[in-house]
């Protein structure tokens, strides 16, 4: 059986109507510096995978494969939030102080999200018992990600230079380590053709070549093991 590719969630408005800036000097880069397609696809992948994994966990079938996928998604979520807290948010907070309250709110929510995520991945509990936890995590995460997309993504494009953002992306790829093939497969699985092209253009050439040659087929096999169906990528 071949799964239909989930429809992409509506593109977040990366460049909303500008709000009055109480401190014009806080915006050294008034024009967008880059396109965070990776962040958009990470958010979409987290939403889609957690929704599917809640159902898969509830069924209790293919338990080890489902557990491994839960651990992948939770690791991606942790890394995503760590990168924001440690690298991107400090830059934006320093250069656009008006967004500090929103960043404080998001970073406080990261603690609750991490607790739910750890509970969702807890191997000491049977998978079906964790399905409600995964759904609760998704319920908390959806508005959290929506706020990031509406408020923080535009601030990042305004305040983080292209060179700084490229350095951030390189660091995130390195931090993924052995998870990188599966992470990349997950992101591109939920990408539309134009989005896939943009992401592949943003990453180092060897990463794009490995995905085309090896990682794509590897992720198709992973999807088959987890969900009992073939990925259509």
pLDDT tens for each residue of 13-60: 434 444 334 343 344 444 445 567 889 999 999 999 999 999 999 999
Report which DSSP code applies to 124.
T
Tens of pLDDT, residue by residue over 123-156, are: 999 999 999 999 999 999 999 999 999 999 999 9
- Mean pLDDT throughout 85-104? 95
Kindly tell me the number of DSSP H helices and DSSP E strands found in the chain.
11, 0
Rounded mean pLDDT of 215-221? 93
In whole angstroms, give the CA distance from residue 119 to residue 201. 36
Average pLDDT, the chain: 86
**Which whole number is the average pLDDT over 177-184?**
93
Residue 92 to residues 13, 27, 158, 177, 184: CA-CA distances in angstroms? 18, 9, 9, 27, 26
Q: Which residue from 218, 196, 159 is spatially nearest to 38, judged by alpha carbons?
A: 196
Q: How many CB atoms lie within 10 A of CB 212?
A: 11
């Amino acid at each position: 059986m071949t799964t239909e590719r989930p429809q992409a969630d509506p593109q977040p408005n990366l460049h909303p109507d500008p709000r009055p800036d109480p401190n014009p000097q806080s915006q050294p880069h008034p024009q967008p510096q880059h396109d965070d397609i990776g962040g958009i696809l990470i958010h979409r992948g987290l939403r889609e995978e957690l929704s599917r994994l809640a159902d898969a966990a509830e069924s209790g079938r293919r338990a080890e494969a489902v557990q491994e996928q839960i651990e992948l998604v939770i690791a991606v979520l942790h890394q995503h939030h760590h990168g924001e807290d440690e690298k991107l948010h400090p830059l934006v907070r320093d250069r656009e102080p008006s967004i500090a309250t929103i960043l404080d709110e998001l970073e406080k929510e990261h603690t609750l999200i991490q607790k739910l995520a750890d509970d969702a991945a807890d191997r000491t509990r049977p998978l079906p018992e964790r399905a409600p936890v995964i759904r609760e995590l998704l319920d908390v995460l959806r508005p959290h990600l929506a706020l990031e997309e509406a408020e923080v993504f535009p601030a990042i494009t305004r305040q983080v230079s292209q060179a700084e953002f490229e350095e951030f992306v390189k660091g995130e790829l390195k931090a993924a380590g052995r998870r990188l093939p599966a992470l990349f497969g997950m992101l591109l699985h939920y990408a539309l053709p134009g989005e896939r092209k943009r992401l592949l253009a943003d990453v180092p050439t060897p990463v794009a070549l490995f995905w085309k040659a090896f990682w794509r087929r590897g992720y198709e096999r992973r999807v088959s093991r987890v969900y009992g169906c073939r990925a259509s990528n």
